[in-house]
Structure formats: C-alpha cells, structure tokens
Amino acid sequence: MHPHARIRSVYCATILSLATIGLSAPHVEAAPAPAALSSDDTEGMMDITSGYLKERANVITTEGAEKAKKAAPAAPAKGKMTAALAAKTAREYAALALLRAQLNQDNGGYSRAEVSVTPVTTTVEGDAATMEVTEDARLYYPNVPAGDPEYEEYSVPHTLTFVRGSDGGWLLDSDKIDASLTGPGPVTQLGQPGSATPSDAESEGQLEAGGSTVPVTDVEDDKPLETDPAEGSVGTRAANAGYSYGKMVSYANKYWKNANSDYRKYGSDCTNFISQAMRSGGWNTTAGSFVTRKDNKKWFYGSFESTTSYTWAGAENWYWFAKKHSKRTRILSNVWQLLSADVLQADWKRDGIIDHTMIVTKRGSKGEIYLTYHTPSKHNVKLSTLLRKYPNAAWYAHRT
C-alpha cells in the first residue's frame, strides 16, 4: 500500500465516525492561490524585464557597446533592480564585455541585437512577485558573406523575481534560466551547461577520443579551408545509403524553435530533436519494444517514453547506436571537417559522459560551422563561438 493511502483511510474513517455521533467534520483550509498581479504591475515588470534583457544583449554587440559608451550609465538598469542584483549584473557585464572583445577577434562577434519578451505567467505573494517570460532574440553577424546565416537566434524561458522597493515600486531581484539545460544557453548568459545523467543502459566501454579543435589547413598552402573540400579530400562524405541531408537540415531549420507536435518533448530535448532530423532524412528505425528500449543496438520511437529506445533521446546512447552498432556515422578527427547535416556532440566536463547533441545547419563560405539544437532552442550558432565559451569541453564530430 502507498503510505499516503493509509493516511487517507484513517482520515475518512474519522469523518465517518464524527458524522455518526452528530458532530461536524473538521474544516480543512485550502492553501490560498497566489494572487494575480494588476495590469499596471505586470506592465511595469515587463518594461523592467525587456529593458534588462535588451541591455544584456547590447553588452555583447559592438553597436550596443558604442551606445553604452555614449550614454555612460552609472549602473546596469539603474534604479530598476536591487543593489545585490545590480552588483552581480555589473560583474557579469564586465565578463561579457571581455567575451565580446574575444569574439570580435575570433569571428567578428555580433554587430547588433533584436530582443522581444513575451510574458507567460505572473504571480504575487505579499511584497514578492514572480514572472515567467520567454526571451526571443537575434544577434546579427557583421560582414556576412552571401549565402551565410545573417544572425544567431534563440528562444529561452526565464524566471524572474521582483521585490517591492522603499517607494512601493517593483525592483528586479533575480533572473534564472533552467539550470538543467544541457545545451549552451544564450551567449548573453554566463555559466556552464548542465550535465547529462549517466545512462543505466549496458556499458559500451570508452568513448573514442574527441576531435581536435585546431582549424583544418590545406597541406599544400597551409591556409584554412574556406569552402567544402572537393570529393575525396579532407572533410567530404560519400553518398550514404540514400540519405537526404537537405531534408535533415530543412527539418532542423523548421523545428528549432516550435517543436514538431508529432513527437513529444523531453526535459533534455537535444537528442530527441536530432533523432527526428535524422529520421526525416532517411534513417530507418529498428524494431523494438519496452523490453529492448535500453539496448543501444536499437533505435525506435514509440507512443510512450516506455516504448521509445534510450538511443532516441539519450545523447550517449545515440552515440553508441550511430557510431558503433549501426555504423551510420563515423567520428571525425577534427571538428572543422563538419559538413551540413553532420552531428556534433559535447562532453562539457570531460567526465566521459556525453551531455549534448547538435546538428550542422550550414557550413559557411569561409569554413565557419553553424549549429542548431534544442534545450535551449538555438539556431545557427557559430562553432567558433562555442569553442571560445567552452574551451575545456570534449567534442565528438559525427559524419552522418
């Protein structure tokens, strides 16, 4: 018996006994529901939130940095956040300014930002309030070659808390994104991605060595590769089992933000998204059931999680199915050999557990790699930016 079932039985018996002798059953007070904010409060908090998130995005862009110099603000979002958060934000802005300078040197960085904020829920309890919003942003790249992506974009949920100031107005007190996200968050946020939970599938042994991140060079003239190499040279793939790589990329471009309703979403959704993209391009599922879902030789999607293979949505399980058992991928020696529709996986802590899975949605005309993924939802992120932000990660580049 569930322990709570015993409690419910005793409580119901007590009420019945009281009713039998003519006494009233004890009144149980329901917990009050959190109050809703007034429209004025909500509007004020949205103004603060929008200003704050736009300010963060501007710190990472050259245009925003120039405007900030001219405006010379005394503090981040002055007068609209608590002193503790203002101090924390100032430290983060200094770190973001350093990152901006590094990215400007690495790949040109970002020229400008567009940010929109959509409210989801707002509640208030006394002098504290909580607001959940979705931030949608585009960070534009400078000097974009013809045919290359013009911007990186993302859609990320935030949970913000507010407290009342001495004048009765609301002050922003904290801003959090889901700490369990196993993919890189917005470049405007600091910190490391979350780690994946070790799988309870059978052990497959050691992962193959991660790929080099040193830019690939042409042996003859020692220059970085600027375009997809010719067939038969470094970085190419032969036609593989009739797969449609264009369909894989199109799928990722279509569903990077708004998930395909034909599939369920997972808390850590990155590999689920990649499996969908691979399937759209011709990867066939295997036979499987509840009994075989932990078998890394199987790859299948069912109506329930219990009838879906671990390899479908588990990053490391996917690695073993794709590389070892089905041989649908092979590991590249260098991440800069990636082509469109190839897959890149990451082990953030180098602890031997793969945490995250991404798909290449574009190989740029000058050799830049653009990646797209879920958890969080991000589109056309430069590989060089990820290498700068996460220099200690181990990378596993799959030729699909």
pLDDT digits (tens, 9 = 90+) for 207-254: 877 788 888 764 333 344 545 544 334 444 555 668 999 999 999 999
Residues 53 and 169 in one domain: yes
> Residue 359 CB: number of other CB atoms within 10 A?
28
Q: Residue 199 domain-assigned? A: no
What's the distance, CA 225 to chain centroid?
29
Q: How far apart are CA 320 and CA 327, in angstroms?
A: 9
Residues 170 and 258 in one domain: no
Average of per-residue pLDDT across 126-154: 97
Residue 194 has pLDDT above 90, yes or no: no
Percent of the chain surpassing pLDDT 90: 70
Q: Residue 82 domain-assigned? A: yes
pLDDT score of 202:
65
The CATH number given to whatever domain includes residue 88 is 3.10.450
Residues 253 and 170 in one domain: no
pLDDT score of 324:
95
Look at residues 176, 200, 225 and tell me which one is the last residue of a structural domain.
176
Q: Residue 34 domain-assigned? A: no
Residue the block writes with tokens 């400078």: 142
Q: Residue 227 domain-assigned? A: no
Q: Which two tokens stand for residue 130?
A: 């909580």
Helical pair 62-71 and 39-59, crossing angle rounded to 10 deg:
110
Amino acid at 179: A
Residues 251 and 395 in one domain: yes
C-alpha separations of 232 from 235, 238, 336 in Å: 8, 8, 16
Residues 292 and 394 in one domain: yes
Count structural domains, the chain: 2
Residue 10 has pLDDT above 90, yes or no: no
Residues 170 and 252 in one domain: no
Predicted structure pTM score:
0.85
pLDDT tens by residue, 147-184: 999 999 999 999 999 999 998 899 999 999 986 688 89
Residue 397 has pLDDT above 50, yes or no: yes
Look at residues 151, 176, 201 and tell me which one is the last residue of a structural domain.
176
Q: Residue 148 domain-assigned? A: yes
pLDDT score of 41:
86
Q: Is 256 exposed, middle or buried (0-12, 13-18, 19+ CB in 10 A)?
A: buried
Task: Give the residue with greater pLDDT, 28 vs 222.
Answer: 28
Q: Residue 131 domain-assigned? A: yes
Task: Give the residue with greater pLDDT, 12 vs 112.
Answer: 112
Look at residues 176, 191, 207 and tell me which one is the last residue of a structural domain.
176
